[in-house]
């Protein structure tokens, strides 16, 4: 049984995919997709030995030994050419780390059919990375799960340029705003407003910080 967040990520993995789940931790996502026969093969990449032990026990528990391969590796180095991976998932990390993993993975030479990325923060950086490296968004989602709003970016090879507004808020969300996406930005606006109120009480409205919050609030 997947969390709402991981179920939403799983939703964007194409049927029959050969999947690499990078930073897989317990490998819940690939195990679930394999057990439901939604995919045929998966690599679970982990940089840390502790989580990799979790992957191995998940593989044994479900007898997935021939279809779910644990690999101790940094980022996309977990993927070997013979794996014929077409879909890469990187979920549950900061956007900066996701960009670093993609950069280190030299995606210019290796093109995957689809990237499904779920940055916990700095989503705009990931959108920027994609557009600067020959990937275009083909879908986006925001899911509310246990008090957090999680963004999911789905990308495929292609060239596109996004405006600053699209990079921050997401081109798909701007044309078709979902309830969760609207709530996410409403909550962010509320957060900024309450910080601004505190600064006002402390008589600090002529500070750089206050100005930048004001600007941010206007943008939202």
CA distance 81 to 116: 20
Instruction: Give min distance, CB of 52 to ligand SAM, in A.
Output: 8
CA distance 154 to 117: 6
Structure tokens at 171: 């081109």
Which residue, 4 or 215, is less far from ligand SAM as judged by CB? 4
Among 12, 13, 23, 171, binds ligand SAM (CB under 6 A): 23
Minimum separation from the CB atom of position 18 to ligand SAM (A): 18
Considering beta carbons, is residue 120 or 168 the nearer one to ligand SAM? Answer: 120
H or E stretch covering 119: strand 114-119
| Residue position matching structure tokens 């897989």 | 24
Question: Under rule CB under 6 A, which residues in 24-63 are in contact with ligand SAM?
Answer: 24-25, 45-48, 51
- Choice from 70, 75, 95, 119 touching ligand SAM (CB under 6 A): 75
211 CB-contact burial (10 Å; exposed 0-12 / middle 13-18 / buried 19+): exposed
Binding positions for ligand SAM, rule: CB under 6 A: 6, 22-25, 45-48, 51, 74-75, 91-93, 97, 101
């Amino acid at each position: 049984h997947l969390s709402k967040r991981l179920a939403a990520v799983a939703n964007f993995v194409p049927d029959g995919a050969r999947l690499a789940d990078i930073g897989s931790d317990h490998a819940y996502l690939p195990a679930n997709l394999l057990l439901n026969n939604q995919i045929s093969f998966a690599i679970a990449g982990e940089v840390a030995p502790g989580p990799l032990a979790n992957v191995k026990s998940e593989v044994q528990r479900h007898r997935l030994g021939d279809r779910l391969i644990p690999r101790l590796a940094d980022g996309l180095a977990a993927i070997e050419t013979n794996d014929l991976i077409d879909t890469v998932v990187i979920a549950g990390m900061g956007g900066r780390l996701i960009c670093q993993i993609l950069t280190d993975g030299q995606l210019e030479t290796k093109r995957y059919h689809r990237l499904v990325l779920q940055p916990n923060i700095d989503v705009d950086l990931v959108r920027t990375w994609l557009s600067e490296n020959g990937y275009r968004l083909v879908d986006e989602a925001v899911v509310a799960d246990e008090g957090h709003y999680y963004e999911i970016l789905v990308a495929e090879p292609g060239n596109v340029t996004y405006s600053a507004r699209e990079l921050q808020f997401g081109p798909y969300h701007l044309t078709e705003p979902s309830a969760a996406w609207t709530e996410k930005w409403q909550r962010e606006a509320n957060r900024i407003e309450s910080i601004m109120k505190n600064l006002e009480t402390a008589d600090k409205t002529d500070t750089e910080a206050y100005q930048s919050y004001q600007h941010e609030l206007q943008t939202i």
